[in-house]
Amino acid sequence: RDSCLQETASMLIHMALAIPYDQLMAFEKVALAYYALLEALLGQGMDIVCGFETWVVVDVLASLQKGLATALRHKILIQCAKAIDFFGSFLFRHKHRDTPVVSRMRHHLTQVPTLVTELIALLVKQLLTDDHTDLGILSHPLLSLILADESS
């Protein structure tokens, strides 16, 4: 199997994660493109994401958490919510399957066992405390993460 796509995506995400978060958010077009990349990777390329090192997966999800918590643009909030929904939906759909891709994601999640619960807590906090957050935007990722959570 050709690993060119995996290696290209890995290099691209490494370069994107190298940008300090405050500098990323200072440039609106760059931030929109960055979160569009994360949304596309989590929506269409979970097999690629699962092939990343654990720290990369954790940094991607932490970046989505920051985007949800601090995004000033509504579009970035939507991109973050959709990406987290793709992640939660993947976990839920593959909860009882045993494939190499799922095994790699389980390995990542065992390295950081609180990751899913932290995402759930952030979404609930956003729903309860942010006056400008639309319930519909955050309800999908919240539901998919609750259904996917192994501890529930």
**Digits of tens for pLDDT over the chain (152 positions)?**
678 988 999 999 999 999 999 999 999 999 999 999 999 999 999 999 999 999 999 999 999 999 988 877 889 999 999 999 999 999 999 988 999 999 999 999 999 999 999 999 999 988 888 776 677 888 999 999 999 987 65
Q: If we measure between CA atoms, which residue out of 65, 69, 151, 59 comes closest to residue 113?
A: 151
- Residue 16 tokens read as 């994107």
* CB-CB contact of 145 with 88 (8 Å): yes
Q: What is this structure's pTM?
A: 0.91
Residue pointed to by tokens 């970035």: 76
